[in-house]
Structure 1
């Protein structure tokens, strides 16, 4: 997320109308619109890979959504996009007039880290995500090494942090995901 707003105060309705026809994505934070950075080819490949792995592992248990689904965090008046998200049970949404819906109850949120967004994804964006009562797991996928981190919300206290690297697996929403399977299918093969 850029540090400079792209324009002065914008209502949520005006933001949503503009976002529907925009060729780029933006975030809205209580009336301020921010440009989102573009992802690299590797970012897109890893986003697709983790989304596919989650979809296969959680098939019939949850609904997995890709990066085009907007999220609305009422607690902080924030609209954004995650690289992937999972909803357990029926999707709950926030509707802005007839402009569309934003998801409000993801249980798992995934971000593929990039040099330009890693600090934001680990800090300010995570702080927004933590305010969503439905979020149980926050997943960070590295672009520079075979490494996936999971932050888990406990019933009480501090979030737990787990790291899995090459050759290891981790549990997401009760199902095992192999780190190597997320980083597989590269052509030409790459080493991390």
Structure 2
């Protein structure tokens, strides 16, 4: 998260009012509104490739893949945020305070950046773990050809599965695979050529 807006405390309704009028996205937590950093072409490319790959595999199943335009609300902590990719299976459950936010993602994906990696791995993941429906949290590196899948176990603990070059990351909850070479095809080379 970046610096909070000037005012010290906002209600969720005030946040929603400001969010509707804003051309940029913001996170909300504990009465504070946080600017979300804009993405790079590399970030957008990786998020789009994950979205396309998952969308193609889910096909006619009762699951939908959403871009970062979808707001997700963590009811237990109050966090409202925009994951890079979200997957919801079955009917969408909306937040009672926010008809535009879902509260039941099965899979959340974040593309890591230098400015967000510590937050995405730490505090944000701690919030996401409080979503009862969430089964897998996927981190896509921008620095290395690596996809990490954190999977919730039956006892509520989480296990990390990693996939690198030549491998595929398995998302068991939606029976899908992310081919690392396909997700990263030309992605890191394009950023290095600049």
**Structure 1, 51-60 or 110-119: larger mean CA deviation:** 51-60
Aligned-pair distance for 1:89?
A: 0.8
C-alpha displacement at 1:157, in angstroms? 4.7
- Report what 1:145 is aligned to: 144
User: CA separation in 2, counterparts of 1:140 and 1:186?
Assistant: 16
> How many angstroms does 1:176 deviate by?
2.1
Say which SS state the counterpart of residue 76 (structure 2) adopts.
Answer: helix
Kindly indicate whether the alpha-carbon contact (under 8 Å) linking 2:46 and 2:187 is maintained by their aligned counterparts in 1: no
Q: Which residue of 2 aligns with 1:43?
A: 43
1:78 aligns with 2:114: no
Query: 1:66–1:85: 8 Å Cα contact kept in structure 2?
Result: yes
Query: Do the aligned residues in 1 keep the contact of 2:50 with 2:178 (CA within 8 Å)?
Result: no
Structure 2: stretches of 5+ with no match in the other structure:
none
C-alpha distance in 1 between matches for 2:95 and 2:169? 32
Q: Which runs of 5+ in 1 are unaligned?
A: none
**Structure 1 position 184, deviation (Å):** 2.0
Aligned counterpart, 2:12: 12
Distance in 2 (CA, whole Å) between partners of 1:168 and 1:118 is: 22
Matched positions, count: 188
Cα contact 1:95–1:101 (8 A) shared by 2: no
Question: Distance between the aligned counterparts of 2:181 and 2:147, measured in 1?
Answer: 10
8 Å contact from structure 2 (residues 42, 188) kept in 1: no
Distance 2:36 2:125 in 1: 16
- 1:30 and 2:7 equivalent? no
Deviations 1:22-70 (A, max 9, x none): 1211111021111111111100111111111111111222111000000
